């Protein structure tokens, strides 16, 4: 029997992402990949996957998923949200759990991910991964380019995502300990490469100013400053390569930070580029967030990248088992009627396997 996840409600923007495809930008094929690769790695490690396995990236509002497999282990890592697990599609009340952990769900159960707060993204790890053919070495979805992922698009109602494993492994559940996924209000950048297209006073204003995150998607994050940046030599350049986190300044003078699904070349001057160590934090910023940029040298950026790589190597050490005695009961109390402060001891443990 084929095992799959059935999408009952897709959420605002849910897509299949991994760590992206590299080595093809010279052919005009972008890298794509998770906006927050740290959270994606952690979600995979919680369910025993390779850190770069494909997972679901959920932006702002989560999906509802029906389990069509004997069982599957899922994890939820990223911004804060509440996950509700209902016993079947007719049920009105289920078990609520928080994120940053794994959970075992069974055939016919419904997983509902509520609105995401305190950030833009959440990642759903799937034990064993999805049975999707890679495109150019990756299952990441580039929606604008109609490449990769599940049918090269965001998920839609009725989609049936095939699973590699029809049944979850027999093991306990895990959670993350000591890691948070809050956005950062200060993002470090390397100035340039088209710094000469701006007067020194404009460059100083850029680094001294606070910007607000405006309309954004996986291609670019539009920023709104108190006033437009002024170009010294116009805003058209010969198109050149776009790096992850490049900050273009188009004709309206409002910066755009180019994200995972960015185009491979561009013809607007770039005032700065976000360093690789801060790209995960950048991917957590939601619309309306305030952001400032801090200038660092290339040598500092290299040192910060080494620190990030060391942290990623140590990531498995932040995963701890969830014991049956320490399972988080508090969120579940909202799902049961309390009488004189007492909850039935048998039904209060909605999932005794934890």
Fold held by 186-313: Cyclophilin (2.40.100)
Tokens standing for residue 327: 């399972």
Torsion of Cα atoms, 290 then 296 then 302 then 305, to 10°: -20
Q: What are phi and psi of 290, to 5 degrees?
A: -100, 145
Domain boundaries, the chain: 4-177+323-335, 186-313
pLDDT of 230-264, one tens digit each? Answer: 999 888 888 888 999 999 999 999 999 999 999 88
Tokens standing for residue 319: 């995963």
Euclidean distance between CA atoms 225 and 205, whole angstroms: 10
**pLDDT of amino acid 328:** 45
Strand partners, 258: 220
Euclidean distance between CA atoms 91 and 119, whole angstroms: 29
Q: What is the mean pLDDT of each run of 10 residues along the chain (354 residues)?
A: 92 96 88 96 98 97 96 96 94 92 97 90 97 95 92 96 96 94 92 94 96 94 95 87 94 95 91 96 94 97 97 96 58 40 35 38
Torsion of Cα atoms, 33 then 39 then 40 then 44, to 10°: 170
**pLDDT of amino acid 201:** 95
User: What are the strands, taking DSSP E only, across 64-137?
Assistant: 64-68, 71-80, 82-86, 95-98, 101-106, 110-113, 117-126
The reported pTM is 0.89
């Amino acid at each position: 029997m084929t095992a799959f996840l059935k999408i009952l409600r897709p959420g605002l923007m849910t897509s299949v992402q991994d760590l992206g495809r590299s080595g093809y930008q010279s052919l005009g094929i972008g890298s794509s990949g998770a906006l927050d690769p740290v959270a994606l790695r952690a979600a995979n490690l919680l369910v025993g996957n390779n850190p770069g396995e494909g997972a679901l990236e959920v932006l702002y509002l989560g999906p509802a998923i029906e389990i069509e497999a004997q069982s599957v282990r899922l994890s939820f890592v990223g911004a804060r949200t509440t996950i509700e697990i209902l016993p079947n599609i007719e049920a009105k009340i289920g078990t609520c759990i928080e994120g940053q952990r794994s959970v075992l769900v069974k055939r016919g159960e419904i997983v509902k991910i509520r609105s995401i707060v305190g950030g833009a993204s959440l990642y759903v790890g799937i034990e064993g991964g999805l049975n999707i053919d890679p495109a150019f070495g990756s299952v990441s979805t580039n929606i604008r380019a109609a490449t990769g992922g599940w049918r090269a698009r965001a998920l839609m109602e009725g989609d049936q995502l095939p699973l590699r494993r029809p049944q979850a492994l027999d093991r306990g559940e895990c959670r993350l300990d000591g890691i948070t996924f809050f956005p950062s209000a200060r993002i470090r950048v390397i100035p340039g490469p088209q710094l000469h297209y701006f007067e020194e006073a404009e460059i100083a204003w850029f680094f001294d100013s606070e910007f607000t995150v405006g309309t954004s998607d996986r291609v670019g994050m539009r920023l709104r400053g108190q006033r437009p940046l002024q170009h010294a030599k116009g805003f058209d350049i010969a198109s050149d390569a776009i790096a992850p986190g490049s900050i273009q300044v188009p004709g309206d003078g409002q910066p755009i930070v180019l994200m995972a699904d960015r185009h491979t070349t561009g013809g607007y001057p770039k005032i700065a580029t976000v360093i690789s160590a801060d790209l995960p934090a950048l991917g957590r910023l939601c619309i309306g967030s305030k952001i400032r940029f801090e200038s660092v040298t290339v040598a500092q950026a290299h040192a910060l990248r080494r620190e990030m790589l060391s942290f990623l190597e140590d990531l498995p050490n932040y995963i701890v088992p969830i014991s049956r005695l320490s399972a988080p009961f508090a969120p579940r109390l909202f799902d049961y009627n309390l009488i004189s402060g007492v909850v039935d001891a048998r039904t209060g443990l909605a999932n005794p396997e934890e």
